[in-house]
A and B are shown apart, each in its own frame.
Chain A
Amino acid sequence: MTVILHTLNTSPGSAGFTDCLRVIAAGDALLLMGDGVYGAIADTAAGATLQASGAEIYVLTADTAAAGVSNLIKGANHVDMDGFVALTERFPRQQAWY
């Protein structure tokens, strides 16, 4: 069942990250963009916590490239802008954490 699409564009040290983690659950999707992509770096506490949430994790490809983390990310699906749009069509409601 698809429930909530979360977008997060702040880093793991931010209030946005903390608040997002408080809510996110299995059945949700989380799209990391901007500084949010640092949350998906493998073998970090943040990455492990996101994986443990049970939500589908997505990262915006261009933002991971810009940040230099493309090769450091594990367990996330890469999407471009069209993929982002497709996600917004799949989920009836969206919460932006920023």
Chain B
Amino acid sequence: MGAVDKKSVLVVVRRSPYGSSLARASLDVALAAAAFEQPLRLLFMGDGVLQLLAKQESEAIGVKNIGRLLTSLPLYDIERVYVDAAAATRYGIDLSNAPVTTQALDGPGIHQLMTDCDHVLGF
């Protein structure tokens, strides 16, 4: 990364989509940063991978649909999206059907990702 680059930010999302307001809050931070053209990467880790389940229908509980919000990430130019491979496997999540295209990482891969970014924002 050259000195002229903007600071790169990694947002780490570790919360299930509807168990608390933290999932939504972490995505709002990511979208706000992206709207201001900060280079942003997103990592779904631990329970955060549950946000990647296809066919969420949160209208049934009167809450905004996180799955559908995730499909808008490319419009925010958030293209670098990563997922904790072990967590996805643990929950049996079919990443090929996820609302957003992700790159799977193992533990050392996640460590490297964090090291590559200037700032890490964990939720």
* A interface residue numbers (CB < 8 A to B): 3-4, 15-16, 18-19, 22-25, 28, 92-98
Contact = CB atoms under 8 A, between A and B. Distances in A.
A4 B84 contact: no
Given A19-B14, A23-B107, A93 B114 contact: yes
A28 B46 CA distance: 20
A95 B117 CA distance: 12
Given A4-B115, A15-B47, A22-B84, A96 B122 contact: yes
24 contacts: A3-B114, A4-B111, A4-B114, A4-B115, A4-B120, A15-B46, A15-B47, A19-B45, A19-B87, A22-B86, A22-B110, A23-B107, A24-B111, A28-B111, A92-B118, A93-B114, A93-B115, A93-B118, A95-B12, A95-B114, A95-B120, A95-B122, A97-B14, A98-B122
A28 B108 CA distance: 13
A23 B117 contact: no
Contact of A23 (B47, B111, B118, B119): B111
Nearest to A5: B120
Contact of B108 (A15, A19, A25): A25
Given A22-B86, A23-B107, 5 more contacts: A19-B14, A92-B118, A93-B119, A95-B114, A97-B122
Contacts of A18: 46
Interface string B86-106: 110000000000000000000
A11 B46 CA distance: 15
Nearest to B117: A93
Contacts of B84: 19, 22
Interface in B43-77: 45-47
A14 to B, nearest CB: 10
Contacts of B122: 95-98
